[in-house]
Structure 1
């Protein structure tokens, strides 16, 4: 497994493994709550650090979405010899990467769970210019100054529960960034386009989890994926959390839904 000091692995007992993928500006530490819940259910869990992450904004600027995808593919490949079945799950960008990784390596990844999918930041609590900027990011990406801009998270950090929010705020030294560069928005846009172009061909069983009150990503993104995905899927709603459902009030429910889906017959026996 990785020796970057931030990735981590939990050895399970049920012969099933999950590659658990963090989001843009995130790091493996943010996935610990769901990782522990899945581990308690018997799963081996590997949480890798995505390329360009964990070492500051300058390092993130030097990476792109294909580098991030390669990190997920490598994680699944490392997990495969240790378990009988491999699954992938991720938050926001991590979920989209998990879907593309499964599409790229269908013989390795049996099913996917995506948390709070987002093609652009347009939730109820984002600054007014975020949706405008996101909708124009295609042509704005050609303007050099965008890469030098940095954007802040919302005041809530995407977390409804104040205690959990303080916990994440205390993870500043674990590779989680407080701001993200414009380059991150550009690469998120390109990743989203790559996924949209493949949705109808993707056959991997996919669980889609999204908060009804998502403050960063409108629930329509989850519906879009459900409506256009070519393979078996399930869309379930999280009722009492914001965007970061994997660390918010219902993170245990997120882990429960994930395990239930991976254990379902349609996930184990792909069509």
Structure 2
């Protein structure tokens, strides 16, 4: 790789769309894939952005690949892409889905003043959605006892974060067929969950110092992470936060029934922030004041 190439992670699942002046780095979730961000990436590219969606270390393979990595490896993957994007673009936004949203905040903490805005989709600080097993809320305690990590293995189950029944059926078939580069993994090991909790702990400590303008999008019906996660981010971040709660979708808001709304809100947020940078501020749209 020469100095002008941008690291898009392992394998060939990562992608770049668009050719605009403003760059957007989007980060997928734990056990997820770049595919879960493709619809939003297409929409933002049509809105005039260049969108980069890398593959995180250990992902798009099997559980052994994932367990061989930790949160610092996942962060380093995102950071490597960000460094390359930042060299090429003056204006860079960073966002992600689920754990990708958490990694986005850590990037902002590590690179203050270098990110124009954050796009946080279904932020996952704890697994407390309506479809999660009750033991999930005890994960931090279980991690603290001997062999507790082996009690925190989660199996993906219907509805898989997707309210759209047609899409859900496709994803379920891909998962069961082992097509991890498209649909992600069907199971999440306790080792990986422990790494996520370590990442969350590191990010929580630094939230008050993150002053980057932020858009928080979360479903009211999220089956994996409740709106508590979005509320917590809104309260704890040190900069201005715009929070919008979505209806008629589950956790995977970037592919579910409201993905067009996700694109619309994200594009408007980017446009608004970019205009502010050009010293020509406009009044914030009314739907951005929806703090529900």
How does the TM-score come out when normalised to structure 2?
Answer: 0.85
Q: Do the aligned partners of residues 83 and 169 (structure 1) sit closer, same or farther apart at CA in structure 2, a change above 3 Å counting?
A: farther
Residue in structure 1 matched with residue 270 of structure 2 by the alignment: 262
Supply the distance in 2 between the matched residues of 1:210 and 1:110 (Cα, whole angstroms): 21
Count residues with an aligned counterpart: 266
Supply the distance in 2 between the matched residues of 1:224 and 1:267 (Cα, whole angstroms): 28
Q: Is 1:73 paired with 2:76?
A: no
Q: Do the aligned partners of residues 198 and 267 (structure 1) sit closer, same or farther apart at CA in structure 2, a change above 3 Å counting?
A: farther
How big is the shift at 1:108? 3.0
How big is the shift at 1:145? 6.3
How big is the shift at 1:53? 1.1
Residue in structure 2 matched with residue 60 of structure 1 by the alignment: 66
Decide which of 9, 16, 29 is 2:16's aligned counterpart. 9
Q: Do the aligned partners of residues 202 and 149 (structure 1) sit closer, same or farther apart at CA in structure 2, a change above 3 Å counting?
A: closer
SS of residue paired to 1:160: coil
SS of residue paired to 2:144: helix
How big is the shift at 1:135? 4.0
Decide which of 131, 135, 141 is 1:136's aligned counterpart. 141
Residue in structure 1 matched with residue 186 of structure 2 by the alignment: 178
Q: Is the 8 A contact 1:29 1:174 kept in 2?
A: no
Supply the distance in 1 between the matched residues of 2:273 and 2:148 (Cα, whole angstroms): 50
Supply the distance in 1 between the matched residues of 2:67 and 2:275 (Cα, whole angstroms): 36
SS of residue paired to 2:66: helix
Q: Do the aligned partners of residues 78 and 137 (structure 1) sit closer, same or farther apart at CA in structure 2, a change above 3 Å counting?
A: farther
Higher mean Cα deviation, 119-128 or 42-51? 119-128
Decide which of 118, 125, 130 is 2:124's aligned counterpart. 118
Q: Is the 8 A contact 1:262 1:268 kept in 2?
A: no
Q: Is 1:168 paired with 2:171?
A: yes
Deviation string, structure 1 residues 120-168 (Cα, Å, up to 9, x no partner): 2111111222223x2424404xx34625863211310011111121333
How does the TM-score come out when normalised to structure 1?
Answer: 0.91
Structure with higher Rg: it is 2
Structure 2 gap segments, 5+ residues each = 1-5, 279-292
Decide which of 202, 227, 233 is 2:210's aligned counterpart. 202
Supply the distance in 1 between the matched residues of 2:162 and 2:52 (Cα, whole angstroms): 24
Higher mean Cα deviation, 205-214 or 174-183? 174-183
